[in-house]
């Protein structure tokens, strides 16, 4: 018998043995394609000294492969019903630990301090439930964790938005929120047929590598992201009209002044601006409106 947890027959046996029922609300889809699992692990570029944080291990298919490759793996699983299953499937792997907690509520800094050594190479590797993809990625990047990067399988449409370049229809505030802190590249597309149960959409594996410094130094990062979101509020509108709606008509002159000082044509749309242009514009707006 093929002992890999991810082998379709073994996955089905585990599910049947524990009488496990999938919760739609938790976006549970178990991957049963070993090549794709290998590609995910390979994209993480792990050494025998690496540490891994996994989110949503399910029955342990990816965890098993990570445990064979890395020094230690800590997995966050929100579903209490999966804990006894994981205890059984991961029993051969002493270097794998499961924490029954919602990663969005977890103190990841404390978990890293407790489970990984100082300066250890750490990657986040996960097959993320679609409904919480964006909050999880943003938490991982905004919490300033000592991680090298993130390799995750997510809904293809979201992956396209994360890796998008300016002047494409996918490019938007999510692309900028992530690329400001990290480089993002799509590793592979994953058809919906390789999961139990099958989701309705295709997935993609994306690799997000943290930058040593943000792409631009700005006076106020939070304000910059407000400006970015405002600029995409109505994609068909010009940047000046979107910013006027956001800051109010009274500030129209200052908005125009900031655009001119940044060398940005007020008739352009938000999706044509690079991250560096947004950084410059937000600093000019900050100077005129906030200082």
> What whole-number distance in Å separates Cα of residue 214 and Cα of residue 247?
26
Partners of 181 in the β-ladder: none
Neighbours of 17 (CB within 10 A): 10
Q: Write out the binding residues.
A: 29, 31, 56, 77, 102, 127
User: What's the token pair of residue 120?
Assistant: 């250890």
> What whole-number distance in Å separates Cα of residue 148 and Cα of residue 53?
11
What's phi and psi for 74, nearest 5 deg?
-120, 120
H or E segment and range at residue 205: strand 203-210
> What whole-number distance in Å separates Cα of residue 210 and Cα of residue 170?
21
User: What angle do the packed helices 252-261 and 239-247 form, to 10 degrees?
Assistant: 140
DSSP conformation class of 24: G
Q: Write out the binding residues for S-adenosyl-L-methionine.
A: 29, 31, 56, 77, 102, 127
> What whole-number distance in Å separates Cα of residue 62 and Cα of residue 17?
20
Length of the chain: 291
């Amino acid at each position: 018998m093929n002992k890999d947890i991810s082998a379709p027959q073994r996955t089905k046996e585990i599910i049947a043995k524990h009488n496990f029922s999938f919760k739609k609300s938790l976006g549970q889809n178990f991957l049963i394609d070993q090549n794709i699992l290998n590609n995910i692990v390979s994209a993480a570029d792990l050494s025998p000294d690496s540490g891994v944080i996994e989110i949503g291990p399910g029955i342990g298919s990816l965890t098993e492969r990570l445990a064979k490759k890395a020094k230690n793996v800590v997995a966050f699983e929100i579903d209490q019903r999966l804990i006894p299953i994981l205890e059984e499937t991961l029993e051969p792997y002493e270097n794998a630990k499961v924490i029954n907690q919602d990663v969005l509520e977890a103190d990841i800094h404390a978990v890293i301090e407790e489970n990984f050594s100082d300066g250890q190479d750490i990657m986040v590797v996960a097959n993320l439930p679609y409904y919480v993809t964006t909050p999880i990625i943003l938490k991982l990047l905004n919490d300033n964790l000592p991680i090298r990067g993130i390799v995750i399988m997510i809904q293809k449409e979201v992956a396209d938005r994360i890796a998008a370049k300016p002047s494409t229809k996918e490019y938007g505030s999510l692309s900028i929120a992530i690329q400001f802190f990290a480089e993002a590249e799509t590793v592979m597309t994953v058809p919906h047929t390789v999961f139990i149960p099958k989701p309705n959409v295709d997935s993609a594996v994306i690799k997000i590598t943290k930058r040593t410094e943000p792409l631009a130094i700005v006076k106020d990062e939070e304000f910059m992201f407000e400006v970015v979101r405002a600029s995409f509020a109505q994609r068909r509108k010009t940047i000046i009209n979107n910013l006027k709606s956001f800051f109010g008509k009274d500030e129209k002159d200052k908005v125009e002044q900031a655009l001119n000082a940044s060398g940005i044509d007020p008739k352009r749309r938000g999706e044509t601006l690079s991250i560096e242009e947004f950084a410059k514009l937000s600093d000019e707006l900050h100077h005129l409106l906030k200082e």
